[in-house]
Structures are given as C-alpha cells and as structure tokens.
C-alpha cells in the first residue's frame, strides 16, 4: 500500500456552504477520515493483533447527524475545552459572559464552539505522512470571548502509525484558550469499553463539585478509584462508592500530568483492549488529560451501523485544567497579543498479544 489522500463532498450546511471529507491512508492501511466541519474525525481504522481492520472511533454516517446532535464525537474543541463556571471570567478588570450550554456553565466553547464551525482545509503529502491543515478565524465576541483568534490545527498521519496533531492560535486581544481533540474510542470496534485496560501516569486529579466544576484543590489518587498508575480495566472501580464518581456519573475528570507547562511530549494514557490486542497511546505536551468514560451515552444515538449504548466509548482529552480562568492556583490559560498558543497531541496505534 502507499500513502494516499482522497477528497470528496460531505454535503451542505443549511446556509448552502459545502462541507468536505478528507480520507487519509498510510502505507500500512491505517485510515483516517476527517471533515472540515468541526475538524471532526469521522472514521479511524486500525488493525488488531491478527491484522483485521476495524473502525475504532464513534461517529455518524452523514453530515446531517453531526449537525443535529453530536456529543462532540471526534471534534476539535475550542475556544476552551471543558467547563468554565457560570460562563464568566475576568481579564484585566473586565468581566466576560460566555454562552452557557451546560446548565449555568460554559462547556467546550459554547453553543457554537469550534466543533460546529466550518474550517478552511488544505491537504499535504510528505515522504512518510499525509495530512490536512485546518484553519479558522474566531471573531472578537464569538460565544462571548474577547479577541480575533486565528487557529490552525494540523492532522498528520504517519507511516509509523501515529496521528500527530498540532494546535496553534494567535489573538489581537487578551483572551483565554484551551484546545483539544474529542474523539471517542472503542478499540474493540463495538460493545462497551469496561474491559479496556487503562493506564494514566497521574498521581492527582482536580476534584469537582456540582456541575463538574473544579474545587480548586488537587486530590491524591492513592487508594481511590482514580488510581490508574498501574493499568486496570476501566470497569473495575467505576461503580465504587466514591463521591467523585457519583458527581461524574463515572469517570469525567481531569488528571494532572505535569506541575507546570513545558513543551516536552509525555504519555497521557495507554489503553489496551484484551480481545483485539489493539493499543492506543495518547501523548501530549499539555499539563493534564480529561478521562471520560462515556457516561452520558444511553443508546439513543446511532451511527455507522451501531447503537451507542452506555459506556460504549471513552475519551482521553489532553488540555489545561477546567475553569482555570477562575482558579488562581491553576496554570494560566491566558493568551496575549504577540504570543502564540501551541500544543501537541499524538495518537499512537499498535498491537500486543491478546489474552486468549
């Protein structure tokens, strides 16, 4: 097989704008489909330990489903991944009110976050990779945020079976930024994800109160269901008597990877699916990762020949901390004019022997 890129129509938005789908394939047959609507990864095909290929991300069959009711399947998240309490924050003495779309709180960029924007797209091909560069201007006042924010996200699929993602943003007014990718994975290609074995090398989480807003504290994971420092099945402790699990209806928490921001790429999580042998490693240069165990999937959403039941997918979303603009003890998410926001995420796909 050889590297390839195909480009086709993915339909039209209600205002007549054309949406495209880009189909990227590497020399090993790993295939990535991404649309410029929301930067959504609609399909991600990888081999299992026996060389059988399957789609390992949740998603839909067509554009209309993504527009109508998408719980962020596969999308670029911005301007701010995760939650901001009451949709409010202050910068330089000015209080900004954002769109609220999660009760009284602001979630994943608001009512029309980056997951619902039509991005400009251009493809590229290199000796060992194919990719697409997505770009967007989020205007001053978009969802309540200050500043014209220019954003560029690159997806690069390599022959070493990595999907390398870079996020870059600049602004003309002081603002806040926290970008991530929100793919839902199921390495078995179907069923629930409770037997997937997860390792997250984090010794602390940012515990939450009602509405999943951080308390501002850091909580040691030792002796709690949140200790994934040694790999364990996602389902092993998910029903434990634990106040944090009750608030999240399962895992929906931010795990601390670094004490302070730097540009070093580190492991955020490793997942092994014991029946297929598929392995996903998520790497990031960010300081934290949100682990979400698909708690709100309830069987009402259907796509790609499947019904997405409870906990049929998981997310590992590298990012800064939730509600950081309102938490002086958290690392800053402020971006000033003249600065450049940059972050990287890598999905690395491999296999290991199954447990047969």
Catalytic residue among 106, 108, 162, 182: 182
Catalytic residue among 162, 273, 281, 317: 317
Catalytic site includes residue 182: yes
Encode the chain in three state secondary structure.
Answer: CCCEEEEEEEEECCCCCEEEEEEEECCCCCEEEEECECCCEEEEEEECCCCCEEECECCCCCHHHHHHCCCCCCEEECCECCEEHHHEEEECCEEEECCCCECCEEECCCCCCHHHCECEEEEEECCCEEEEEEEEEECCCHHHCCCCEEEEEEEEEECCCEEEEEEEEEECCCEECECEEECCECCCCCCCCCCCEEECCCCEECCECHHHCECCCCEECCCCCCCCCCCEECCCCCCCCCHHHHHHCCCEEEEECCCCCCCCCEEEEEEECCCCCEEEEEEECCCEEEEECCCCCCCCEEECCEEECCCCCEEEEEECCCCHHHCCCCCCCEECCCCCEEEEEEEEEEECCCCC
> Catalytic residues, which ones?
182, 317
């Amino acid at each position: 097989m050889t590297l390839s890129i195909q480009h086709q129509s993915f339909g039209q938005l209600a205002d007549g704008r054309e949406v495209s789908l880009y189909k990227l394939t590497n020399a090993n047959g790993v295939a990535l489909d991404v649309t410029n609507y929301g930067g959504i990864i609609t399909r991600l095909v990888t081999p299992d330990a026996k060389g059988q290929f399957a789609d390992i991300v949740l998603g839909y069959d067509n554009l209309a489903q993504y527009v109508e009711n998408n719980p962020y399947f596969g999308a670029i998240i911005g301007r701010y991944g995760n939650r901001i309490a009451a949709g409010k924050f202050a910068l330089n003495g000015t209080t900004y009110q954002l769109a609220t779309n999660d009760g009284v709180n602001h979630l994943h960029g608001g009512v029309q976050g980056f997951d619902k924007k039509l991005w400009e797209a251009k493809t590229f091909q290199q000796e060992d990779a194919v990719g697409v560069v997505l770009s967007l201007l989020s205007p001053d006042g978009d969802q309540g945020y200050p500043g014209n924010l220019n954003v560029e996200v690159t997806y690069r699929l390599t022959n070493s079976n990595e999907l390398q993602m870079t996020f870059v943003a600049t602004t003309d007014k002081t603002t806040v930024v926290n970008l991530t990718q929100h793919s839902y994975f199921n390495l078995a290609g179907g069923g629930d994800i409770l037997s997937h074995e997860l390792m997250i090398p984090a010794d602390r989480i940012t515990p939450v109160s009602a509405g999943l807003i951080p308390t501002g504290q850091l909580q040691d994971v030792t002796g709690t269901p949140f200790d994934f420092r040694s790999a364990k099945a996602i389902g092993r402790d998910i029903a434990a008597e634990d106040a944090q699990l009750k608030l999240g209806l399962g895992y929906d928490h931010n795990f601390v990877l670094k004490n302070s921001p730097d540009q070093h790429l580190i492991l955020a999580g490793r997942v092994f699916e014991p029946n297929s042998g598929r392995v996903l490693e998520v790497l990031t240069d960010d300081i934290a990762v949100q682990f979400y165990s698909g708690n709100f999937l309830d069987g009402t959403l259907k796509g790609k020949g499947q019904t997405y039941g409870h906990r049929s997918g998981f997310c590992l979303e590298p990012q800064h901390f939730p509600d950081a603009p309102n938490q002086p003890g958290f690392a800053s998410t402020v971006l000033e004019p003249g600065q450049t926001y940059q972050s990287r995420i890598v999905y690395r796909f491999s296999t290991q022997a199954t447990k047969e």
